[in-house]
Structure formats: C-alpha cells, structure tokens
Structure 1
Amino acid sequence: MLTSIIGFPRVGTLRELKFATEKYFRGEISACELQQTAKNIRQTQWATLKNSGLDFIPSNDFSFYDCTLDTAVLFNIIPERYKKLNISELDTYFAMARGYQGENGDVKALAMKKWFNTNYHYMVPEIEDTTEIKLAGTKPFEQFNEAKALGVKTKPVIVGAFTLLKLIRYTGSKQAEDFCDDIIKAYSDLLAEFSKLDAEWVQFDEPYLVHDLNKEDIALFNKLYNGIISNKKSIKLLLQTYFGDVRDIYNQLTAFDFDGIGLDFIEGKKTLELIEKNGFPEDKLLFAGVVNGKNIWKNNYKKTLALLSELKTKGINTVISSSCSLLHVPYTLKNETKLSAEYTSHFSFAEEKLIELAELKFLTDTDNFENETAYIANCKLFENRTNCYDDAVQKRVAGIQEKDFTRLPEFNEREKIQKKEFELPILPTTTIGSFPQTSDVKANRSSFKKGNISEKEYNEFNRKKIAECISLQEEIGLDVLVHGEFERNDMVEYFGEQLNGYLFTEKAWVQSYGTRCVKPPIIWGDVSRSKPMTVEWSVYAQSLTDKLVKGMLTGPVTILNWSFPREDISIKESTYQIALAIRDEVLDLEANGIKVIQIDEAALREKLPLRKSDWYCEYLDWAIPAFRLVHSGVKAETQIHTHMCYSEFTDIIPAIDQMDADVITFEASRSDLLILDSLKKNNFKTEVGPGVYDIHSPRVPSVEEIENAITKMLEKISIDKLWVNPDCGLKTRGETETTASLKNLVTATKNLRNKIK
C-alpha cells in the first residue's frame, strides 16, 4: 500500500512563521525577509516528508494566514474595498485577514469562523455581484515548482469548488448558482496550468460534503464537477473529504471520473458501511483516513490493520492516509524534554504520524505482521495504560442527579433581583476578560517558570498589573470590570495546570488562526480540582474598587474542546468531570463575595456534529447540561455570564438560551451583526452583548462606528437586555489601541444613553 497525508502544519516547528509575520506587521523586517522565512519552512518540511517515505506529499498547504483565504485570492474573490487600498498584494491579503487602518484607508477584516468542528479558524471569503471569478494567482504553481526543484514530487492541495462556494458569504443578490460557470472555468484553468507543469495528481478538498446535503447541494456539486472533470486532461484528481462521512452523495461521488477519493474512517461513522453496502470502484484509489489528524494519541495498529485488511480483501486499491490535515496537531515530540516516556510513548504528533504511516505500510505488506517489533510494541501500549483512573471522580460523576442541572429561581425572577441588586445603567459596559499580555507580563511568567524569581515576586508583579488594570478601567468609565488575567498563559491551559488529570507540553503549538497559536493541554486521566484556582486573584481585584469585578472562568465544554481529549472514555463523561471541578470554583468565588462570574464557553460549538440530525442525541443533550451543572448551585443574586466567539451560532440559539446564563456575550462584529435576527426570531430571553468591535484586528473603531453598531443592535434587542462590549478578550492587542478602543466604546455608549434619556 501507498501512504499520504492531507496537509501538514505550516507555522514552523518552533513557530518561526508566527514570529516573522508579526515582525513584518511591526515593520521590523521586509516582505522579502518574510518570504524567505516561509520558503525555509516549506523546504524543511518537504525534506521531512520525503525522508519519511511518504508517497503522496502535499504542496500549497502552506499559508501565511489561511488556505481558504488563499483560494479566494487565487480566484480573484477580493472585495473592492481591499483593492481600493492600492497597497501591495501581500498587504492586501493581510488587510483581508486583519483589517487595515492607515494612510490608504480604513477597512475591517473579513469574517472569521471555526473550520468545521475544529479549533482552527478560517477567513470567510466575501463575494460581490460584480466579482469576476478567474484564475488570478500563482501561489500553487510557485510552490509546486519550488518543491520540484528540490526533487520532491508533490500533489498540490486546493480547497474544492463546492466547499468554496458553500463557505463564501454572498453580499449581493447573486448566489452560488450564478457563479458556477465562472468557477468551473477558473478550476479548469488551474488544472490546465498544472498539466503544463507535469503535475500527476491534484487534490481538491471537499469537507463540506460531510454535512447534511439537500437536492440543491447535490445538484450544485454535480454541475461543478461535471464541468471541471471534463477539463482535467492528463491530471489525476483526488477528491478529498474529512471530518465525517459522505452518506448523502457516496454513490454520485464514486460514479464521477475521480482517480482517487479520500474518505474519513475516524469521524466518518458510516464510511465503512457505505463501502460494504455499495462497493468501491476498482479503477479508483481509496485514500483511507485511518490515522487521526485531530488527536495526539498513538494509532491502535490492531484495529487499523484489521480495517485495512478488510478493505484489501474487498479488492480495493487503498492508500493509507491521515483522516484530515495534520494542521490540527503539534509538529513533533522531539522538543518535549520534561514529560517522561511513560506518557510520551502514547503520543503521536505530526512527525510521529509520518512514522505511523510508514509502519502501517510496512505491516500491511508483511504476511506475519503480528511478529514484527513495531506491532508488538504498539499492542503493549494499549494494554498498559492503567494509571489514569480515579474512583472518587467516577463515583461523583455517577452520583449526578437531574436536579443538579437546574438553577432556581427561574431566569425572569433572577433578572429582576439582579437589576435591583446591581443598579447598573442602561447599556452596561464591560470587557470579555483578558487585557493585553504585554512583554513585561510574558517576561514575568517566563522568569517564574525558569526559577529566576520567587513565587512572591511573581505574585507581587501580577498584583501590580491588576491594580493598574482596575484603575485604567475606572478611568475609562467601564461599568463592570475584570482583573485582566495577567496570571494566565491561556484560558484553558491555566485551569488545566491546576486540575488533576492533565498533562502539559513545552512546545506543542497548534495554529488557531493566522499568527495565533495555542498549546492545548492533554487530558491524561480523570479530572478533579484539589484547591481554588482563581479566588485569590478575583478577591484582590474586587478589593480595589466599589464597582463589580467579574470572576473569570473557562467552561467545561471549552476546556474539553480545547484540550486533546482521552479516547478511552466518552467526551461526555470527561466533560462532566471537568464541570464538577469548575462548579466547585464557582461556589468558592460566590462564597468569597464575587457577585458576577463569567464562565466562558468560547468553543461550545466546536464538537457539534456537522449533521444536524446528530446535534442533540450526540452533543447538545449533554453539552448544555454540563454548563448548567457548573452554575446551578449559585444564589439568585449572583449573575452568571458566558462568552462565545468565532463560530456560527445562529442555528443553535435555542440551545444557547437553554444554558440558563444571565448574560451571554457573542462575537458579532466581523459577521455584520447577523446574529441579531436570530436572537429576535427565537425570542432570546438571556441578556446579551454582541461584540461592537473586532479585537482580532489592530484598527481602532471610531465613536461613530460603535454608536452605529449599538443603534443597529437596539433595533433587534430590547434596551434592558443589551450589554456593550468588545468581541473577545484583549489579550493579543497592544495597550495603546486597547485603551483608545475602550474609550471610544464608553463614549459611544454614553452618547446613546444621553440621546435615549
């Protein structure tokens, strides 16, 4: 059998691309220097892939920001407001990704959403009625030739036409069908160009096919690929899917003249069933996604080899592949020096998954593989993992009762009590939680971790920063304050470090979006809390002011979703364990006088099944109760906030209302407040704060811009329900722009209060 991967991480083993790109943003290096860093990363990775023995090596999976944005630019899908800036191609690209504010103009960034059911974020392409779709870029061809010059034969990877049209935001009257002919021509021209370059294979990624598809969707796909395939000439086409199965279109897919079809056997619940029931064409390669591209646990060779053997007995020509791009896991275990082999022997990052693919290839081609060292060692791993269970935790989870998911009194009564208790003005202002993590904050944390300063010195510094943050917020005039989270490295990692059952890496970074990388903790065993985690910081912050200060926590679903979860128990059970630990923290905060507690569920939607028919039975029926379990024990006077960001929430608004929080803040500014219609349509009872400006962009919103956003919100949301806040935490922003933006937010709010009076 041959081996393949769908894509590879791209920020560099030690985040070289992140640091170079941020230097470019600050004007510290030139575009040429940035391009050279990118080239070095690509060449190093191609060498790694080639040396691993991988048969199908991807190219064009590299990106400065996001491959969906790259594909839009490739086909000239660039809104006019960015073209009018008259800046370089690279800077126009970054303006679409981050926004732009300078002498050439002032434009917001494109919307950003979660990439299907992952923690990666993609830029939402935006198309106008006047957009001329055509092959306009050269990036895929340049990178193909770059690899070729190094002696590396690659299969270029492109977001497929169907997925692209389904993800695009249409700003005019035209819809996907109106652009079909042009996009068929553009993709055909792409294949023609690759044919000239003697490419053998081209991979079209079509993950949207794993959604529920209606007749119109299938008709759109058929029209697109009838046109594209008729122009493929000598190119072999790989139609690659991932994140689920293709039950709605399997027979149509296999009937098309694709040379290879990639199917997911990890998340594709019905993939094997579809093959068993309908067969698989003899003249095509099946790229079988059997190595998990989203989790870091070693592959179970016994199970995988049984599956590959079954495919082999059916006479299917199979390529062993990753289930999705390896973008979603860290680069390599080589940089992990602190975790013992007791743990790391169970892990497989991107480079280690290349080894797994090579070993699986060897074992499938070996008659008596049960006697091979690689197989024997792998089997022992799955027999010996026993130090991850805690009887007390399992007993507590088993003892959860239905009443533990219900908070009393009901929302309407609590809302009246809290308004009387707090006496906040109309349109109360707040922030989401974190304040800028400046260089001195990072240096303080680093010095403490290295043992260069004492815990007392570390804490004194953080107290000083908290005092400054409280003072700044009072000066700006915010109504409900936060302590700034200077003691926290990451909203999940910080809690994981204090919970039993977690493991932490040193340099296992994963790209979240653009230059933003996260280091997800690993859930090794049963989770519990041994002592308070945030109480001291929150109580100190509250002691500095007469205004309300929010206690800041991360919710159980987000902690689970932004960790690498266990595979030996269900994610439901694991989430309930975390929920009980966070519940203990909530009750401790309340007992220590914290009256407003925010429990962030930024990643609530992340593991939501892509098929709507599975939403409740497989996810929402336990994810929503898990959140309620966290806060159901607090008093009516305690106000529970939560926050959600950078996902599409409009279709699960009723479920979000069932979380029974008192206030929910949403990301909204990048999506032009589209969530407002859904809130109104569903008679959303919870008080709400749709973000009035985008914190993932360095631009400072004007007072007028924020006033307009609030005014638009008031057309759909009752004034007694509306809060005013930024989109998300301010951790990644600079101090100057943060202060300016928040001052404008408060000024805009006060202006509207005066007008309303």
Structure 2
Amino acid sequence: MTEQNTDRTASEKAFPSATVLGYPRLGPNRELKKALESYWAGRSGAQDLEQTASGLRDYAADRIEELGLKESSAVPASYALYDQVLDTLVAVGAVPARFTDLRGENGSVDRDGAFVLARGDAARQPLEMTKWFDTNYHYLVPEIGPQTTFSAAPYELVAAVEQAAAQGRTVRPSIVGPVTFLALAKDDGTSASPIRPLDRLEDLLPVYAQILAQLRTAGAEWVQIEEPAVVADFAHVTEDELGTAIERATAYLAGQSARPQILLATPYGDAGDLLAPIARSGVEAVHVDLVRGDLDAGQLALFTADRAPALVAGIVNGRNIWRTELDAALTRLEGLRDAGAKVSVATSTSLIHVPHTLEGEDDLDPAVRRWLAFADEKIQEVATLARGLAEGRDAVAGELRESEEAAASRREAPGVHDPEVRARAAAQTPADTQRGDAQRRRSVQAERTFGSARLPVLPTTTIGSFPQTGEVRKARADYRAGTIDRAQYEQFLRDEIARVIELQEQLGLDVLVHGEPERNDMVQYFAENFDGFEVTHNGWVQSYGSRATRPSILWGDVSRAGEGLRGDAFTVPWISFAQSRSQRPVKGMLTGPVTILAWSFVRDDQPLGETADQVALALRDEVADLEAAGIGIIQVDEPALRELLPLRRADRTAYLDWAVDAFRRSTAGAADETQIHTHLCYSEFGEVIEGVDALDADVTSIEAARSRMEVLADVRSVGFARGLGPGVWDIHSPRVPSADEIGSLLISALDHVDADLLWANPDCGLKTRGYEETKRSLENLVAATARVRERLGATASFDSVVAGQSTTER
C-alpha cells in the first residue's frame, strides 16, 4: 500500500460479501428505450426523461437488494442512459475538437450535448461506434488528440450517489478506468502527427483523482473502476506498454487520500501478468473473471499476502444464461478462502449482457426454462454462493440439490444430442468447404444477366432489412394474438414485400432486397425455423443506446425444422415472391453461422466450432433451395465475425479456423454463377481482414461511414481482390447524408478498391430507420453513385428498357 494511503483507517467498510458488476439498464419492459426515443422525437420533455431514468435507478437498487444483495455498496450505480464510455468521456471532459461548441459555460457537456456526440446532428457525424470487447454491446469511440483538454465533470455519477443517499442507501458508482478509456480511443485527426491516446495518460490521471474526491464527498464508500483493457491484446499498444500504464494508473489512484475505496475490475477475460501490478497497487479490492480465467498459485498468492486486497471472485457468468452449477462454484470459492484470500462473490461481468428476469417467460419449454438464469436469477445465485461460503453448505443445501438436478436433466434431455445431426456433421470433409476458383467465378458472374441486363459498374444495393413500421409490428402482433389468421398475415407480408420492391425500383437501386417484413430479428427468425432453439418473449438485451436485441437460446443439436434431417425451406417462399415482382436481381438473405452463435445464448457443453458446423449445414440446405428457386445472389451475413474474435492474440488462429470453415461450409455448395455476399458491421475490419478474405465470399459489405473509410487502409496491403461494399451511409444515426457526402466517400473508397469491385450500399440493414429518412438517403446514394459512374465513364445503371418498366407491366 502506498505511503499517501497509510492514513486510511480500519473504520472504512469492508467490501460486501456479494455483488454484481452491473445490472440491465433498459428496464424490465424497455422503459428507458421508450423514454429516450420519445424524447428524441420531441414527444416528451427533459423532465419526463429524467423521471424515467430516476425511476429505473430506484427500481434497480430495490430489486438488487430484494434479491439478496443488501450490504452497503453491494449495489453498483451503473446507470448510463446511452453508453458507459460516453458517460466517462463526459465525466473527464474529453469533448472532441469537432464538438467543442457543445461545452457549456463551465466547460462541461450536458445531456443533450452527449446525445449529439452519440447520434450526430445535421452537420456532423456522431462518434464512431464499435463492439465492446468480444460482446454484442456497442460503445462510442472517444477521439483524443494532442490538444484535447480534460476536466472533471462527473455530474451524472455524483447525482446517482446523492439520489441513493437521500433514500438512506449507499451505492457503488462505476466508471471506465483511464487505461481502458484511452486504449479504446482513437486519434482525433487534428494533428499532422497522429498520437496514441494512451500517451495522454499523465494528463488524464489528475482528472480521475478529482472525480474520486467528488464521489467521496457525495458519500460513496467504494468506487468501481473497470479496466477490461488488461484482458486483451491490442494492435496499437504492446503488452509491456499496457503493463506500464496500468501499474502507473492504479498506483496513482490508490495513492490519493481523498477518495472512496477502490474496486478495480478486470472483466471479460484473464488479466494474466497484469494482475500482479493491480493487486500490489494499494487498491482495496480486485475483481477477477473466473469464468474466462483462473488463478494460478502465484496469482492466488497476491490475495493471501499481508495487506492484500479483497478478491472479488467473478464466478457467476454475466454473459450467458445457463444456470451456475452451484456445487462446483462453491468448491472453487472454498478453495480460495481456505488458501487465505478475503473472498467476495460476484458476476464475471456486468449483467447488461443478459435479460432482466425469467419471470413472465411462460412460453418457454419448461424443461429448458429450468436450465436458465437471467439477471435476477444470477443475483440470487451470487447471494446463495455468498451465504454458503459464510454459513456452510448446510445453509444452502436445497439450492445445491436443485442446481444439480437441473444440470442432470439438461445432460439427459432429448434433443441435446441428435445422432443424425451429429453423424452428418462427422461425415463432412475438407472438400465440403471449397468452392470453384474465385477468379473464374467472378468472370462467370460478370456475364450473368438479370432480366436483359448485367450488373453495372458500382452496383447499388442495401444490406437487407427495410424499416419495420408500426403497421408491420401490428400485423405480427395481431397474428400472434389470433386477431388475424395465417392467410391474412401472409397476404399482408406479400403486400409489404411488393411495396418495398416497387420503392427500390423507383429509387433506381440495382440489386434489390425483399425487406424482411416476416422477420422480427435476423437471428430469432432462424431460431424459430431451426430445431435446437428456444425464443423468449421479453428477453431483451441492450445493443447500443436505446436499441436492444432479443437473443435466442441455442440449447440442442441444430437442423432445419420439418420432415427429415434436412427439414423445410423457410426463406425461399418470400424471396421467390419478391423476385417474381422484378427483373432486377433480388438477394436471398440468410444470417451466417457465426453470427447466429454470437447473437444467441449458446449451449456451453460442447465447443463452439461443433455447434457452428451444425448451423452451417442447416444454412447450406437453405442456400441450395434458394439456388434451385433461381435466386442468383445470396447474402450470408456475418456481422459478428469480429465480435467473437478472442481477446488474446494466441487464441485467434484457432477461432478463425472454425469460424471461416463454418461460413464456407454453409456456402460452398453454391454454383460458380451464384454470387455469394456477406456483410460485417461495426468491426475493426483490419484485425480480421485475412479471415474475411478466407471466407471466399464474392462480395463483402462492411461498415465504413462513421470512420470515413479508415477501415479500408488494409485492403490493398493484403491483396483483397473481391467485391467490396464499404458503407456510405451510417444507418445507426438519424442523419440523412447528402449526395455530396456519399460521393466523397465513394471517391475515397476508389483509392483502395478497383472500380469494377466496388459496390455502393449503406452500413447496415434499415430495420430501425423510418421511411422518410430511408427514401431521402437512398435517393442521395443513387444520385451520388451516378455522378461517380459518370466520372469513371461507366454504365449508368440497368439498361433503360428494364429500368423503365413498372412492376405492373411485368
């Protein structure tokens, strides 16, 4: 413990015996989502938004205590309205240079200003957004330059502490740590000589010290500082540099006298050698992720030495929804305690990655439901383990017995192991992942006609979904409720598809999509048509801001539902109908095997690669049926390829081997003339570009608009010579990009991609956007593409006969 810290007295509270790192933020019925979107749309005011936010803070604290975590500081105050990294950016005053006008008189950014950073405005794109470590949560990327100023403005954090104190409750505020904040940031582009944001650490640390002092004054006894950067390898920071930074930061903050006690959290993986400087820094408690890692003898000794920090053991999985096997977990905890560590029980990560509760999920198969634990149930598991550790196994004998019975029922349940599915997967050979030569395929595809025309240079398209309007959602709800029958619902879907096809033809798009009105989610739709899955009614998980996904539950062996091993085609009827409405090509739309895994809660009783192969074979059957129906372009989306990339470099090759094989297994049966597309969004493209190339897709579309094509820097360096559609419209913001802006991005893309390989498309699907902004943005995309084609002297579009025909004339 550092010299400055020796005046800290024994009167300060011990760390609670049980806690969680965070709790779902959107509300049990997505109250925050509704309040945010109402506020942004101008239907409600700032007071209404604050009332909802304040109510959810109270609800979370009450619920956590009700479920068993009653000690002082056991409740984490982690209440970001949009994103915890954005909250940290505002708290340290790191406002990007292009947004300096958002600062108020005191130099800070208010809530509306923070929303501009997150969502952009008419003149400015928002902060770039990318995946939070290897999860499906998206964070906003700070922009740090040599002139970025830092100043303490932790108003939201302080307000949460004070609100709780007014109710007689002491909560534990949470903030992203300085090393992680800077390691995840990017250079702001204001200097001729770009900097590494981590080089600004010495300037940032005094601001964190001021924040800690203000939190102590507000009544915080403990503060949670999250440093998940220590569990990852970065391309731009060496392990030694990261180690030096974390040692400096933790020692500096621990050395402050005016501060709460510090819980230093290391979620999402194994901190490895960097655990030692953290544990020796003088912080009072260290969280270790025991789901993703373990403690060897040397690491355990860090928690048994004289004046060692408390070991906050993250033993309950915060990222998946399977029940903890309590007996095995308690045995591990007892071993740590008996070795001499001061053990508190916790989740491995924040619970923002799982739904609120199993309550109300009455439609789940009762057998599967018994195997599950959502956020509330995980809190009960944490409380049970803490009680067993403190009072002995007899105190929790009933819970231990029920846990073992549930685990046994899962192992023995029908469908968990399907001999036919496993035999088919085992019979696969390397030849089943190989297509014909890529150059030959490209030549054949270039000659293929749709109607009476070939694809033009710089083809325009969208990624898949079109806006899911209130009418679409109402029809789906009416069908579920029995208000309309199947025939009425399907007619509604056909009418909606016909309308979307007609709109795209009017806009002048070259390659069309059917709009996906029959799909409530790009993964759940497949889960509903595959054996081995269950879906929830209210199992929402935050993706970014107000947006949420509802991950499906992959519990058993996977094949298409229906008769026989190969089951029945389910996308073909809708795609075929859409294609019948146009002579322009309509893409078949499938979600890839890796993304289906990444955006589901996946069984944890076998390697991911084995599960991926089963999903891939089910998709291979769907690809074959689409081809047989005459669909010439099939898109197999893999937006989550980068998401599952292991945080440690040493583990990445093995992951990419099975992930690439799974994708290729799903598409390798396609004929040379069938153009296979894939899509990646919000990924560090350069980190997986060799893997993307190995997918052997004919065309790849990627997110690129927010980064203004920065992701293309590595394209030529690896010899990527396939079709590429870097997104020119950021659909995660309500901004409508101008034709000039889109044209500029396309011209920039031509610096990296040959004209005959370049496609023009948005960043992602349009499900979350409205029709007015969609039409205007696509009009600008088509106009910008026409200008660039003219500049290139290329064909303008489909020939005038085909382009000029109306749907009814055909």
Q: Quick one: which amino acid aligns to residue 29 of structure 2?
A: L
1:285 to 270, 292, 310: 310
For 2:737 and 2:298, how far apart are their aligned partners in 1? 51
- Whether 1:384 aligns to 2:409 is yes
Asked if 2 retains the 8 angstrom alpha-carbon contact of 1:58 and 1:157, the reply is no
Q: TM-score, normalised by structure 1?
A: 0.97
- Whether 1:353 aligns to 2:378 is yes
For 2:520 and 2:729, how far apart are their aligned partners in 1? 24
Asked if 2 retains the 8 angstrom alpha-carbon contact of 1:60 and 1:156, the reply is yes
Query: 1:427 is matched with which residue?
Result: 458
Query: 1:251 is matched with which residue?
Result: 276
Change in CA separation of 1:755 and 1:395 when aligned onto 2, cut-off 3 Å: same
For 1:176 and 1:710, how far apart are their aligned partners in 2? 29
Deviations 1:240-267 (A, max 9, x none): 0011111131222222111111000101
Query: 1:647 is matched with which residue?
Result: 683
Q: CA deviation at 1:92?
A: 1.4
Deviations 1:662-720 (A, max 9, x none): 00000111122111111111111221000011001111100100110000000111111
For 2:298 and 2:487, how far apart are their aligned partners in 1? 61
Asked if 2 retains the 8 angstrom alpha-carbon contact of 1:669 and 1:693, the reply is yes
Q: Quick one: which amino acid aligns to residue 427 of structure 2?
A: G
Q: Quick one: which amino acid aligns to residue 299 of structure 2?
A: I
Q: Quick one: which amino acid aligns to residue 227 of structure 2?
A: E
Q: CA deviation at 1:340?
A: 4.2
- Whether 1:628 aligns to 2:628 is no
Asked if 1 retains the 8 angstrom alpha-carbon contact of 2:162 and 2:219, the reply is no
For residue 374 of structure 1, give the secondary structure of its aligned residue in structure 2. helix
Query: 2:789 is matched with which residue?
Result: 753
Alignment map for 1:588-627 (pairs within 5 Å): 588-617=625-654, 619-627=655-663
- Whether 1:260 aligns to 2:324 is no
- Whether 1:554 aligns to 2:569 is no
Q: CA deviation at 1:282?
A: 4.5
Change in CA separation of 1:669 and 1:368 when aligned onto 2, cut-off 3 Å: closer
2:364 to 319, 339, 350: 339
1:502 to 520, 525, 533: 533
Alignment map for 1:53-64 (pairs within 5 Å): 53-54=68-69, 55=71, 56-64=73-81
For residue 597 of structure 1, give the secondary structure of its aligned residue in structure 2. strand
Q: CA deviation at 1:306?
A: 1.3
Deviations 1:5-50 (A, max 9, x none): 1111110000000011111111000011011001011101111112
Query: 2:423 is matched with which residue?
Result: 395
Q: CA deviation at 1:353?
A: 0.9
Greater mean alpha carbon deviation, residues 671-680 or residues 333-342: 333-342
Query: 2:65 is matched with which residue?
Result: 50
For residue 583 of structure 1, give the secondary structure of its aligned residue in structure 2. helix
Q: CA deviation at 1:179?
A: 2.1
Query: 1:271 is matched with which residue?
Result: 295
- Whether 1:573 aligns to 2:610 is yes
Alignment map for 1:27-42 (pairs within 5 Å): 27-42=42-57
For 1:181 and 1:100, how far apart are their aligned partners in 2? 33
Deviations 1:168-192 (A, max 9, x none): 1112434335422321110010111
For 1:271 and 1:649, how far apart are their aligned partners in 2? 33
Asked if 2 retains the 8 angstrom alpha-carbon contact of 1:669 and 1:691, the reply is yes
Asked if 2 retains the 8 angstrom alpha-carbon contact of 1:250 and 1:274, the reply is no
Q: Quick one: which amino acid aligns to residue 228 of structure 2?
A: P
Greater mean alpha carbon deviation, residues 90-99 or residues 487-496: 90-99
For 2:490 and 2:180, how far apart are their aligned partners in 1? 49
Deviations 1:184-239 (A, max 9, x none): 11001011112222321111000010013522221222232333222144521111
For residue 179 of structure 1, give the secondary structure of its aligned residue in structure 2. helix
Q: CA deviation at 1:127?
A: 2.1
Deviations 1:131-167 (A, max 9, x none): 2111023111110111111222111111001000101
For residue 335 of structure 1, give the secondary structure of its aligned residue in structure 2. coil
For 1:661 and 1:58, how far apart are their aligned partners in 2? 47
Deviations 1:516-550 (A, max 9, x none): 11111101211111211100001110111110110
Deviations 1:329-370 (A, max 9, x none): 000111212224322221111111111111111222344439
Change in CA separation of 1:544 and 1:134 when aligned onto 2, cut-off 3 Å: same
Query: 1:667 is matched with which residue?
Result: 703
Query: 1:170 is matched with which residue?
Result: 187
Change in CA separation of 1:214 and 1:120 when aligned onto 2, cut-off 3 Å: same
Asked if 1 retains the 8 angstrom alpha-carbon contact of 2:536 and 2:552, the reply is yes
Query: 1:186 is matched with which residue?
Result: 207
Q: Quick one: which amino acid aligns to residue 635 of structure 2?
A: Q
Asked if 2 retains the 8 angstrom alpha-carbon contact of 1:254 and 1:280, the reply is no
For residue 242 of structure 2, give the secondary structure of its aligned residue in structure 1. helix
- Whether 1:201 aligns to 2:222 is yes
2:132 to 115, 119, 122: 115
Q: Quick one: which amino acid aligns to residue 597 of structure 2?
A: L
For 1:184 and 1:234, how far apart are their aligned partners in 2? 13
For 1:233 and 1:737, how far apart are their aligned partners in 2? 50
For residue 634 of structure 2, give the secondary structure of its aligned residue in structure 1. strand
For 1:9 and 1:115, how far apart are their aligned partners in 2? 16
- Whether 1:74 aligns to 2:91 is yes
1:452 to 458, 480, 483: 483
For 1:78 and 1:47, how far apart are their aligned partners in 2? 34
Asked if 2 retains the 8 angstrom alpha-carbon contact of 1:389 and 1:526, the reply is yes
Q: CA deviation at 1:376?
A: 1.0
User: What RMSD over aligned residues (CA atoms) do the two structures have, in Å?
Assistant: 1.6
Q: Quick one: which amino acid aligns to residue 501 of structure 2?
A: I
Gaps of 5+ in 2: 1-15, 561-566, 794-810
Deviations 1:376-430 (A, max 9, x none): 111111112222221111111111111111112x111101111111421111110
Greater mean alpha carbon deviation, residues 710-719 or residues 81-90: 81-90
Alignment map for 1:452-531 (pairs within 5 Å): 452-529=483-560, 530-531=567-568
For 2:363 and 2:297, how far apart are their aligned partners in 1? 43
For 2:391 and 2:426, how far apart are their aligned partners in 1? 45
Q: Quick one: which amino acid aligns to residue 469 of structure 1?
A: V
For 2:342 and 2:74, how far apart are their aligned partners in 1? 18
Deviations 1:429-456 (A, max 9, x none): 1000000001101111111111110111
Query: 1:375 is matched with which residue?
Result: 400
Change in CA separation of 1:277 and 1:626 when aligned onto 2, cut-off 3 Å: farther
Query: 1:8 is matched with which residue?
Result: 23
The share of aligned pairs that are identical, in percent, is 41
For 2:495 and 2:305, how far apart are their aligned partners in 1? 67
Asked if 1 retains the 8 angstrom alpha-carbon contact of 2:165 and 2:219, the reply is no
Greater mean alpha carbon deviation, residues 48-57 or residues 724-733: 48-57
Change in CA separation of 1:571 and 1:61 when aligned onto 2, cut-off 3 Å: same
Q: CA deviation at 1:58?
A: 3.8
For 1:746 and 1:274, how far apart are their aligned partners in 2? 61
Q: TM-score, normalised by structure 2?
A: 0.91
For 2:306 and 2:21, how far apart are their aligned partners in 1? 22
Change in CA separation of 1:177 and 1:390 when aligned onto 2, cut-off 3 Å: closer
Q: CA deviation at 1:478?
A: 0.7
Asked if 2 retains the 8 angstrom alpha-carbon contact of 1:665 and 1:691, the reply is yes
Change in CA separation of 1:281 and 1:674 when aligned onto 2, cut-off 3 Å: farther
For 1:271 and 1:451, how far apart are their aligned partners in 2? 54
Change in CA separation of 1:278 and 1:81 when aligned onto 2, cut-off 3 Å: closer
Q: Quick one: which amino acid aligns to residue 534 of structure 1?
A: T
